[in-house]
Amino acid sequence: MSTTVSAPSSGSKDDGATNLTKNSGEILVAPAVAPEDEDRLPTVREIVDLIIHPVVLRSFAIVLVATVLLVGLRIVTWNEIADGARSRYVKTAIFGGASAMMVWFLVLLQVGAQKRWPVYCAVAVMLAGDAVHYVRLANPIVRGGPVVVFNASFASTTPLDGQWEVETANGGTAKVDGSTAVLTAGPSGTSYILARLPKEPDVRESWWLPLGLATMEREETLSWRAQIDRTGGYLVVTETGYLLIQAVPYGLHITYPDASKKAAGNEIQTQATLDGKMHDWVLTRGRDELKLTIDGADVWKTRQQGPLRQLKLGETKRDAEHGGTIRVERATYRRVIAR
């Protein structure tokens, strides 16, 4: 028994189809069928003969090699931030490869072995999954870029409320003087600014974003350059989440929950709130630790008790013992995925 490939005879109308035949007159693969047979399903014998034909086996080998290479490369380039949990990602990649092979087989049954469409369709299925993976992998967030970033400087020509929500009460004032924001509050007065942070990107709304955005912890860095001039017994420097930092006669009083989740006071002796000079403040919340540094020196740290989520500077307490002025030259907020 022999299997041959028959081409259209000379002078006949060429409809682009090529029939595979076994012996003479016995059609193995006939993509073009008579109108009355258009709805007929192939028999088991026809399917078996199709699968074992050399042309089909060659097509299968091409698809198999392409699938193994593409799935393998996708697994090797897995990244936790871009792709989420490894076990689930690997299962998804393998399922994509199996789906591509199934698409190849189904298209093969429809168009025949001599067409290249089965290979094209199978590779297209694989590349669709690859495209999502590599777009996520190329996102700057995966390489340590910020999820949320806010940078503010001040100029007399720029309204203070352009980047900040400004709150004043009981005689408090907030204004821009040259390149400095001046926040002043007397007894029982308030004057503070709250950064208008950009919305954090949501992977549920944008499929091309890294999957780590949905599950992974964040790290935050708040920094500002400011001068403290306290006139009352206390002056709030910042109040963010569970954290309250106040300037006091001996330096700083920091209120923050302890290990038992109860608010605890911390007394810090520092000249940064007493000498009337500009100082660089940096508040960092890592995976485990919350730390305050002033001019590059650690002044306080503790176990972190949750996200800060905002940047607020100035007096927030309506208290008769509070009062003073904070001059802010610049401020930043940065949120990244914890590694």
Domain that holds residue 56: 3-138
Identify the CATH number of the domain in which residue 262 sits: 2.60.120.200
* Closest-CA residue to 113 (of 29, 45, 190): 29
Listed in sequence order, the residues at least 6 apart from 161 whose beta carbon sits closer than 8 Å to its beta carbon are: none
Residues 205 and 131 in one domain: no
Total of domains in the chain: 2
pLDDT at 333 over 80: yes
Extract the tokens encoding 196. 């208008």
Q: Confidence band (pLDDT; 50, 70, 90) for 286?
A: very high
Q: Looking at 62-76, 92-106, 112-126, 274-288, which range is the least confident one?
A: 112-126
Based on the domain organization, do 279 and 216 belong to the same domain?
yes
Pair of tokens at residue 27: 């059609």
* Residue 21 and residue 119 in one domain: yes
- Token couple for 265: 């006071």
Q: Which of 85, 107, 138 is the last residue of a domain?
A: 138
pLDDT in tens, 6-49: 434 444 444 444 444 444 444 444 444 455 555 666 677 776 66
76 and 135 Cβ atoms separated by less than 8 Å = no
206 and 163 share one domain: yes
288-309 average pLDDT score? 96
Backbone angles phi, psi at 83, to 5 degrees: -115, -5
Q: What is the mean pLDDT of residues 292-297?
A: 97
- The pLDDT score that the predictor gives to residue 59 is 87
* Contact (Cβ atoms closer than 8 angstroms) between residue 254 and residue 291: no
Backbone angles phi, psi at 114, to 5 degrees: -75, -15
**Domain shared by 217 and 168, yes or no:** yes
Above 50 in pLDDT, residue 125? yes
Q: Which of 138, 167, 184 is the last residue of a domain?
A: 138
Domain boundary among 99, 118, 138: 138
Q: Report pLDDT for 271.
A: 94
Q: How far apart are CA 306 and CA 285, in angstroms?
A: 9
For residues 168 and 274, membership in a common domain is answered with yes
pLDDT tens digits along 133-155:
999 999 999 999 999 999 999 98
Mean pLDDT of 102-131: 88
Measured in whole angstroms, the distance separating CA 108 from the mean position of its chain's CA atoms is 39
Task: For residue range 201-247, list pLDDT tens digits in order.
Answer: 999 899 899 999 999 999 999 999 999 999 999 999 999 989 999 99
HSE of 263 in the Cβ direction (CA atoms, 13 Å)? 8
Q: Cβ distance 303 to 168 under 8 Å? A: no
Report the SS3 class of residue 240.
Answer: strand
The stretch 321-334 carries a mean pLDDT of 97
Same domain, 34 and 117: yes
pLDDT in tens, 165-204: 999 999 999 999 999 999 999 999 999 999 999 999 999 8
- Same domain as 84, residue 226: no
